[in-house]
Each structure stands twice: as structure tokens, then as C-alpha cells.
Amino acid sequence: MRKFLVLTLTALAALVGSVQADTPRPGLLDSGDYAGGPLGSALQPARVIPGNGDVYKVGKWPTYTAELAAGPGRDTVLGHCSMCHSVTYITMQPPLPAATWDAEVHKMIKTFGAPIDEATAKDIIAYLQAHYTPQTRKQ
């Protein structure tokens, strides 16, 4: 009985295998061996081995932070919106519709846990809408 079962399973596996091999897989346009080519041969610069008396020059750490547009609410934004990231996150957005700035500030509060009360959020949104929408953005 056991032998019969093993034989049956082996035959079944062979059958499934041959059907699979002949049936093109849906969505597969081209098949082949993708090994070889430049894979595994990315060039790396040679390691610098420090020597005695070497002199190193270290440049300034880049700390660019965008200037926010002048206007009421700017300090509130600087104070509350640079806790986790720089305010460059504001200026690097494309001009966003007023409603999107509202959603953005609430996302910072609800999703990322920015400790900003609703009254302050209102001031921040008003500032962003006054300077960073398609209608109001100047720089």
C-alpha cells in the first residue's frame, strides 16, 4: 500500500512537472538565464590607507536651511516645524493648494505626533497658505 502511494505521488509529481514546463507562464515575455554580465563586478575605489603625517582637510558641514518668507506666523512655523526636520521640507514642496497645507499640518500632528495645539496649527496653516500656494508663492 505504502509503495503504491509513493509510486502514485512520484508519477503525479512528474506529470505536474511536465505540464508546468510546457505551459508558458502568463505575463512572462521572455525567459532565460539572467546571470552573468556585469553583475557582481561593481568597481569600488581603492581603499585609502592612512599614513603617518597625513593632513586631512575637513570642509564645513552643509547646514543649508531655506529662508522662510517674511510675514506673520513665520516664527511660529520656525519654532514648531523644525523640531523633527528642517523647514526646507516646506520650501522644497511644489506650491501646494491651501487645503493640502491644512492636511499636511494635521498629518504632522496626527501621524507623526507633532506637539502642536489647534490654535497654533491654525496660525501655521494661515502662514503656509499666505506664502506657499500656487496663488501666493513668490519664491
Binding test (CB under 6 A) with ligand HEC, winner from 7, 9, 11, 84? 84
Q: Is 93 in the site for ligand HEC (CB under 6 A)?
A: yes
Alpha carbon distance 41, 133 (integer Å): 48
Q: Which stretch binds ligand HEC (CB under 6 A): 7-15, 20-28, 56-64, 83-91?
A: 83-91
Backbone torsion region of residue 122, taken as left when φ is above 0, otherwise alpha when ψ lies between -120 and 50, otherwise beta:
alpha
- From 35-43, 59-67, 89-97, 129-137, span contacting ligand HEC (CB under 6 A): 89-97
Q: Which residues of 20-36 are buried (b: 16+ CB within 10 A; e: fewer)?
A: eeeeeeeeeeeeeeeee
State the DSSP H helix or E strand holding residue 2, giving kind and residue range, or none if neither. helix 2-22
Q: Which of 87, 67, 82 shows the shortest CA–CA distance to 138?
A: 67
Residue of 105, 129, 130, 132 that binds ligand HEC (CB under 6 A): 105
* Cβ 139 to ligand HEC shortest distance, Å: 16
Residue 13 CB, shortest distance to ligand HEC, in Å, is: 48
When binding is defined by CB under 6 A, the residue of 8, 83, 99, 110 that contacts ligand HEC is 83
The identity of residue 99, as a single letter, is A
**Interacting residue ranges for ligand HEC, rule: CB under 6 A:** 80-81, 83-85, 89-90, 93, 104-105, 107-108, 112-114, 116, 124
